[in-house]
Amino acid sequence: MSISLEEILSISHLARLHIDEEQAGQYAADLSKILAWVQQMNQVDTRGVVPMAHPLDVVQRLREDEVTETDQREKFQTVAPRTDRGLYLVPKVIE
Amino acid sequence: MQDLSVSQLAAGLDRGEFSSEELTRHFLHRMQAHRELNAFITEMEEPAILQARRADQRIKEKKHGPLTGIPLAHKDIFCMDGTKTSCGSRMLDNFVAPYDATVVRKLEQAGCVVLGKTNMDEFAMGSSNENSYFGPVKNPWNPGHVPGGSSGGSAAAVAARLVPLATGTDTGGSIRQPAAFCGITGLKPTYGRVSRYGMIAYASSLDQAGPLAKSAHDCAYLLQAMAGFDARDSTCMDEPVPAYTQVLDEPLQGRVIGIPDEYFGTGLRPEVKDIMARAIAWAEGQGCIVQPIRLPNTELAIPAYYVIATAECSSNLSRFDGIRFGHRCQAPKDLHDLYRRSRSEGFGTEVKRRIMIGTYALSTGYYDAYYLKAQQIRRLISTDFSKAFETVDFILGPTAPEPAFKIGEKTDDPVTMYLSDIYTISVNLAGLPAVSVPCGMHEGLPVGMQLIGNYLTEGRLLNFAHQYQLATDWHRQCPPGCMQGSHGE
């Protein structure tokens, strides 16, 4: 199992992480090693085994459609890096 | 005072031998005197004193419960309204939580006094506490060794008698392994037993909060107050919470204990194996029936875990975008640059590595080979356990293959680090409860045994652990550097 530098850069793009070319080599080595080790899962024949996504067999609970949360926008925005009149500010997206 | 149990502390408060404020000042003083352990990220002296005074008032008015006025520390993964909640990360170094986690709220209602927020591996990803942005925690038994992780600050704080009780979370062993490394008792409840609301998510199908304390008896009090249904966590169980402290004295006669071959293989240090043999002999002496069992897919638990947990973390941690809260990079040139640089600067190496693995495992073309395969292995592991529990009440083995390793010993090789969780990880995949109990020492470092039970058998696990602790004094051992009494004695 070997992950190329191109793959590292493509995954880092998907994950929205900045990885420069120098670090990419280390990531490629680490991920290759970890994924090679993960491949031992292939020793087991799992045909027909139902995947287990969750430890409990539960279904999503339903509740009455009523208001339970109050408006706390101001409080929640106190931890935001930049806001203006209740809006979150980001760099210009549309020219 | 720091060696007293929760019930002794409660009795002392009740009888007026000391006030909660005196108790709180005593432990605050110890916390400050042992800053070299780096067990706390945030100390909360002033609010703690105020909480203690309120507790004293409740005690005076006889409106108190068993935990009213007892000091406690929260792992810094639990949101606490108005308090920095960093999750051990630079990403949240500036984050003051705007609401309380359910666990925090419940323990506040119980009257606990919060002394501070404990250090941890960043976003609970780690087995040694070396991944914290706030620096590694030292093992109180030997400062050159790790305390385990990720709840290493909580475990070290309890072991060093800086606080009688602490909360932790366990995704792959993060309560049990540090409890074992620090010589204390730690319980990972059944998945869904304790609400995850307000607990910063790492891998949501595995994460579970639980108690860390000196003894099983103390853990029973803390779990009692933490557990229970919460409409705000859709995976929280709607099951009554038994009175855990009421079942601790049941005799163990006739309980069937399974010893898995796979937990005693080549990876286990011979000294730990000998210590386990003595614990097993003790159980036989109590009239337990000990029999060998097989958990054939144990070795595959770690690779399956590192696919499932990383996949879930890559999704969970996408919320850290530098926009709504958390770290934002300087002068982003566009939105994409803002995301990428904020996240790269905010997250540490191991967190980024896990996000990368998880993103890869979930990406087009690899999903079936990694994520789906891991979920199938998860089913096999869970089935191994359910088969075992058809014939046994408990499964007993070591918590970790060796005592606490040296700081820096495993940091160069992620896979070696991951292997230190071999006995704990499969329990999370299956969602079962398990407790780690101190059962010996090797070269001045504690060794823990792990007892695994079927779903919702926390009471029985604590019953076994309590009986063991009535007969042994491993849980009473105090690290030599932390024994001196201080202010208030």
Question: What pairing do the DSSP bridges indicate for beta strands B289-293 and B256-260?
Answer: parallel
Q: How many Å lie between the alpha carbon of A90 and the closest alpha carbon of chain B?
A: 7
Tell me which chain B residues have a C-beta less than 8 angstroms from the C-beta of A61: 231, 234
Q: What pLDDT does residue B488 have?
A: 39
Whether residues B197 and B101 share a domain: the answer is: yes
> What backbone phi and psi angles, to 5 degrees, belong to A84?
-150, 120
Whether residues B72 and B20 share a domain: the answer is: yes
Domain presence at residue B179: yes
> Which of B172-176, B187-191, B434-438, B483-487 is predicted least confidently?
B483-487
Q: What is the rounded average pLDDT of the residues B169-196?
A: 98
Domain presence at residue B332: yes
E strand or H helix at B289, and its extent? strand B289-293
Q: Does B368 touch chain A (CB under 8 A)?
A: no
Q: Does B433 touch chain A (CB under 8 A)?
A: no
- CA-to-CA distance for A14 and B304, rounded, in angstroms? 22
Q: Does B229 touch chain A (CB under 8 A)?
A: no
Whether residues B414 and B451 share a domain: the answer is: yes
Dihedral in degrees, nearest 10, Cα atoms A25, A26, A31, A32 = 60
- Contact check, Cβ <8 Å, B300/A40: yes
Domain presence at residue B240: yes
- Contact check, Cβ <8 Å, A34/B380: no
Domain presence at residue B18: yes
Q: How many Å lie between the alpha carbon of A39 and the closest alpha carbon of chain B?
A: 8
Per DSSP, what are the bridge partners of residue B435?
B187, B451
Whether pLDDT at B34 is above 90: yes
- CA-to-CA distance for B79 and B77, rounded, in angstroms? 6
Share of chain B above pLDDT 70, in %: 99
Tell me which chain A residues have a C-beta less than 8 angstroms from the C-beta of B299: 40
CATH number at residue B31: 3.90.1300.10
- Contact check, Cβ <8 Å, A41/B377: yes
How many CB pairs below 8 Å do chains A and B form together? 154
Whether residues B398 and B358 share a domain: the answer is: no
Confidence of residue A2 (pLDDT cuts 50, 70, 90): confident
- CA-to-CA distance for B326 and B249, rounded, in angstroms? 47
3-state secondary structure of B386: helix
Whether residues B61 and B205 share a domain: the answer is: yes
Range of the domain at B370: 298-378
Per DSSP, what are the bridge partners of residue B236?
none
**Looking at residue B406, what DSSP letter applies?**
B
Q: What is the rounded average pLDDT of the residues B422-444?
A: 98
Whether pLDDT at B489 is above 60: no
Q: How many Å lie between the alpha carbon of A15 and the closest alpha carbon of chain B?
A: 6
pLDDT tens string B242-279:
999 999 999 999 999 999 999 999 899 999 999 999 99
Whether pLDDT at A79 is above 70: yes
Inter-residue contact B216 to B437 (CB < 8 Å): yes
Q: Which domains does chain A have, with CATH numbers?
A: 5-43 (1.10.20)
Dihedral in degrees, nearest 10, Cα atoms B471, B476, B477, B479 = 160
- CA-to-CA distance for B76 and B116, rounded, in angstroms? 9
Confidence of residue A69 (pLDDT cuts 50, 70, 90): confident
Q: Which residues of B295-332 are buried (b: 16+ CB within 10 A; e: fewer)?
A: bebbbbbbbbbbbbbbbbbbbbbeebbbbebbbbbeeb
> Which of A56-60, B2-6, B287-291 is predicted least confidently?
A56-60
Residue whose entry in the numeric block shows the structure tokens 């916390």:
B31
**Looking at residue B176, what DSSP letter applies?**
H
Q: What is the rounded average pLDDT of the residues B348-375?
A: 95
| Type of residue numbered B77 | I
Closest partner residue to B379 among A14, A50, A63, by Cβ?
Answer: A50
Q: What is the rounded average pLDDT of the residues B167-176?
A: 98
Q: Does A58 touch chain B (CB under 8 A)?
A: yes
Q: At which of B332, B353, B378 does a domain end?
A: B378
Whether residues B373 and B412 share a domain: the answer is: no
Domain presence at residue B383: no
Inter-residue contact B222 to B67 (CB < 8 Å): yes
Question: What pairing do the DSSP bridges indicate for beta strands B71-75 and B165-170?
Answer: parallel
Q: How many Å lie between the alpha carbon of A91 and the closest alpha carbon of chain B?
A: 5
Q: At which of B309, B343, B378 does a domain end?
A: B378
Domain presence at residue B278: no
pLDDT tens string B99-121:
999 999 999 999 999 999 999 99
Q: What pLDDT does residue B485 have?
A: 60
Confidence of residue B486 (pLDDT cuts 50, 70, 90): very low
Q: What is the rounded average pLDDT of the residues B193-212?
A: 98
Average model confidence (pLDDT) across chain B = 96
Confidence of residue A95 (pLDDT cuts 50, 70, 90): confident
Number of structural domains (chain B) is 2
Q: What is the rounded average pLDDT of the residues B112-134?
A: 98
Whether residues B191 and B340 share a domain: the answer is: no
Q: At which of B350, B378, B406 does a domain end?
A: B378
